[in-house]
Structure 1
Amino acid sequence: MPRSTTTIMETNLVDIHSHILFGIDDGAKDLSESLEMARVYLQQGVGTVVATPHFDIVKDNLENFLGVRDKHIELLRNSLSNVDVNLQVLQSAELYFRHELLEIDLSPFIIEGTDYLLIELPTRTVPNGILPFFEELIYQGYNPILAHMERYAILRDDTQLLHDLAEIGVLFQVNNETIINGLDSFMKACFKKGYISFVGSDAHGLGKRKINYQDLETDFNITKYNQHAQTLIHNQWVEPGTRKRINKILGKYI
């Protein structure tokens, strides 16, 4: 039976997590692909995209990364204007969790025009000091968002940590693909109990990790999460509401 999908008539959606920026990470391979991604975004109702190329302070040279990112953002924006593709692209990054991040000025990595930072955790190891790390970020004046939170086994195994992160002000983003493929009991509980503030494509190109806004089912409340994204890009505080505790009983999360 065909999937019932969302029909989007206006280009007012905001994607806060995208690898549309070419030639810097494993996202768009060249300017041509970035431009084609931009066209697909508009076709699917997205008018603003936050370019969030991966940055790992241990593996990447800070000066080189910022130099390439800033140059390619300018090239992309100019090219979009030249071909009359009216997509707004905001500058940012997806920061890999490292305690060394607390030792540098993170302002070049904020979602442009805001105090928000997008952070990803490792998926194969369990890092120490997650809660103090985010407490320090918040103390420094940043609003952290945990990218594609569905990937982290540590949050499934330690729902108290999930709750504690939410309590101090960490916000959580989920990938479109996760919703489209069907939520497991953990993710259903996260949505039901108010932990998710944002959805995003995490699009890496035209072939892999697609944009996929058109495949969200009609009963998914994209409007709610898009309102949060609109609030974010205006640098206002996204109020997630009350998060209720998640329990695991007989192998299922409720």
Structure 2
Amino acid sequence: MSERQLEKSIEQVIELAREARNIEVFTGAGMSADSGLETYRDDKTGVWTKVDPQAMASIDAWLKDPEPIWAWYRWRAGVAARAEPNAGHRAIAYWQGSHLVDYVHVTTQNIDDLHERGGSKDVTHLHGSLFSYYCTDCQQPWEDDRNYPAQPIERLTPPLCQNCGGFIRPGVVWFGEQLPMTEWDLAEQRIAEADLMVIVGTSGIVQPAASLPEMAYQRGIPIVEISPAPTELTRWATLSWTATAAQALPALMREISA
């Protein structure tokens, strides 16, 4: 895309955003990249280039040996807790609270809490949260003591459930597990009501979450993709803005608020 084509595309994005009243924002790991959190599939720095997802993100691996997985997720929770929301997170929160729209709903694949700490109130987590825990056996919730390792460690014994004695596990959705139905139904509902979908920082590879933009496409509503590079979802996009979340979203808010 030439510079002039990009400028024209951005102008059209701004116009769509000005006209929209009900917005569904769909975010992935790239949303938090400007906060210093690694994405999953970058071929050099992605999370899955450093660990085997089947070894660290599957229920079978957990049942076989939970200690390495618990240690890894507790360290990741600490990294996420120390990260700060970036300008993109704060821009979405501003949009939610503005008089410019009826609603802005966020559906995120991220397991950090940066949307919430950035000020967003209406956030649906499709893949759970690093800060939510429950018993593997009886599903009793466990209150996070926020005692995170400062550095990566190889093994850490999970706490035991006070109700049944089972191991406490991270409240994230692992490979092979079903997405939470309440959250999925809410995402579908918001897409059904939206007159604009904004996709930010997701590769569009992980299913079934990646099918949500296709639902918007099938409805015929405009779709704006904000990403530094083309993704699997670019084919569904009405318009693309080649930039990071922290670059594009504040700029968009400045324009539509002017």
Q: TM-score, normalised by structure 2?
A: 0.29
Larger relative contact order (Cα-Cα within 8 Å, sequence gap ≥ 6):
2
Q: TM-score, normalised by structure 1?
A: 0.29
